[in-house]
Structure 1
């Protein structure tokens, strides 16, 4: 991933559209949990050939928004975010991650509501 600092990320620490990694501040580059979470998103994007990742992300957003109608809860309940938040502290090698490991998070509510 190519690292870019972006001061316009107001609510988020980082954002990782392949092949970029955008961070709000340089301090997050040294935060292993944040970097691991973005690695997870990178692995998700690769598994779904990037385009399908964003299509699924948009569909999941709409479904969650209709159900929840709360921006923070919607974000936390995305299937991809659920996987990333639940495994962010594990520091696993993303190359050993199973291809569809995010699937088990469909229909589950994430703990950080």
Structure 2
């Protein structure tokens, strides 16, 4: 997985963001640990399953709906099915080897 260190991406408060399979990390971060790399790898797999554009459309729509529901942007973000799957499994470096296709569905 390619990691690019940037002054601009992700926005402050986040350590990394995965855009089209490339991970951008804050330049002030010393390096990304295995947990973050696994988390972002889960997102890459989700993107592939939804042909990338489908992932982003779903992600934004679900975030908006959850923002309306929870009235808090961060709570909405943490409850997106893609994020829930990634956070629940980012401590297991073998997760992607045994993960079933479309596993994020069970986090809806």
- TM-score with structure 1 length normalisation? 0.85
Deviation for aligned residue 1:95: 4.8
Pairwise CA RMSD of aligned residues? 1.4
Q: Give 5+ residue unaligned stretches, structure 2.
A: none
Q: Aligned partners of 1:28 and 1:38: how far apart in 2?
A: 14
Q: 1:52 aligns with which of 45, 51, 54?
A: 54
The equivalences for 1:1-113 within 5 A come to: 1-8=1-8, 9=10, 10-25=12-27, 26-29=29-32, 31-92=33-94, 94-106=96-108
| Contact 2:89 2:95 survives alignment (8 Å) | no
Q: Aligned partners of 1:67 and 1:48: how far apart in 2?
A: 25
Q: Aligned partners of 2:84 and 2:95: how far apart in 1?
A: 18
- TM-score with structure 2 length normalisation? 0.88
**Other-structure match for 1:111:** none
Q: Aligned partners of 2:88 and 2:72: how far apart in 1?
A: 20
